[in-house]
Amino acid sequence: MKFLVVGDPMLTADTLEKAVRDVFGEEVVVKGVDWKPESEEEFWFLRSQVEKFGPSAGKPPVELIEAGKDADVIITHHTPLNKELIEQSSASYVGVCRAGTENADVNAATAKGTKVMKTMGRNAEAVSDFTIALLLSELRNLARGHAALMQGDWKKKYANSGFMGDVREKTIGLVGLGYIGRLVAHKLANFNVRVLAYDPYIKAEAVQGSGVELVSLEELCKQSDFISIHARLSKDTAGLIGKEALSWMKPTAYLINTARAGLINEKALIEALQNRQIGGAALDVFWTEPIAKDHPLLTMENVTLTPHLAGATNDTFAQTPYLLLRELKRVLDNKETSSWIVN
């Protein structure tokens, strides 16, 4: 079996090659190619373009097309695999070391009969940890207090000082109850909170005994003290949290987003924060990344902002290719299908 592994600045071809040999054995043939944009800034820009517009928006190495012509399996992380590459490839499987497959042309793969696999739950532990960290940081002004002290300011009063409280007995609303949402709910269990969830794809019997209550988005917004977003971005969910949803929220409620910026209407959120319509927001993702230096969010006292860090841990990157490759091996060995196959 011949593998083509396509690395990038975050997960190199050498790392992917080692994972392939560890899982499939030394007898497999592995060819590695690294996607190397000219700078870190270009990498992040191209990555964001691919997220928004698909693999045709990226600039994959030209040698990928030739390298893919005799590959049985192609494994990638963020490198875009466009229509031309997939059409000329002989691969039966394309594996993406991510929960989404935006960087692979799934339509071209489907037309050719190539199966595309994603890596489900790969950064769920990291993102769920980070979500709770943002919740606590926004509630207790951890980041703002640190920033003030670094400037020599022993600051005790903040935008939320009038309603800052404890997490205990608060209501947490989760928008999306997949891998990450469920882990957040599980990790919050010992905080003695009430957990609501909005997820139209989850049936009531699936959450029985979990302590999570399924409700409508309106009910979730009206009752929650914290709303944390864990949905996937699609044409149906784009702008899900907009002017109306924000109007339902309590004036003391916090909005947390570690998923995708497009799930929130940017203009509506800025207005809600400027007008103190909601208590605050903690955001790890932005509509354009890096965030513009003159963005109004950077002037606000009722936000906690981090530069898309939630899923980026060493443990996540180390385990991701192994999760994907073990699932692929199970499928190939047992001639089974998998819920990780998107087409």
CATH of 123-305, one of 3.40.50.720, 3.40.640.10, 3.90.1300.10, 3.60.40.10: 3.40.50.720
pLDDT, residue 336, reads: 86
Catalytic residue among 78, 122, 230, 308: 308
Do 2-118+313-334 and 123-305 have matching folds? Answer: yes
Q: Which H or E run includes 168?
A: none
> Do 2 and 89 meet the contact criterion of CB atoms below 8 Å apart?
no
271 in catalytic set? no
pLDDT at 107: 95
pLDDT reported for residue 99 = 85
d(CA 207, CA 196): 11
pLDDT for res 100: 86
Written out in words, the top-level CATH class of the domain with range 2-118+313-334 is alpha beta
- In sequence order, the 6+-apart residues with CB closer than 8 A to the CB of 8 are 34, 35, 36, 43, 77, 78, 79
DSSP 3-state assignment of 16? Answer: helix
Backbone angles phi, psi at 234, to 5 degrees: -150, 180
| Catalytically annotated residue among 84, 213, 219, 289 | 289
Domain spans of the chain, in order of start:
2-118+313-334, 123-305
Coil, strand, or helix at residue 86?
A: helix
The answer to whether residue 308 is catalytic is yes
Predicted TM-score (pTM) of the model is: 0.83
Name the active-site residue from 98, 144, 230, 260: 260
The confidence score (pLDDT) of residue 243 equals: 98
Amino acid 150: pLDDT: 96
Catalytic residue check, 289: yes
Query: Which amino acid makes up residue 214?
Result: L
Task: Specify the residue for token string 């965030």.
Answer: 291
Whole-number CA gyration radius for the chain: 22
What is the mean pLDDT, run by run of 10 residues, along the chain of 343 residues?
94 95 95 91 89 86 89 95 93 94 95 96 94 97 96 96 95 96 95 97 90 97 98 93 98 97 98 98 94 96 96 89 96 92 95
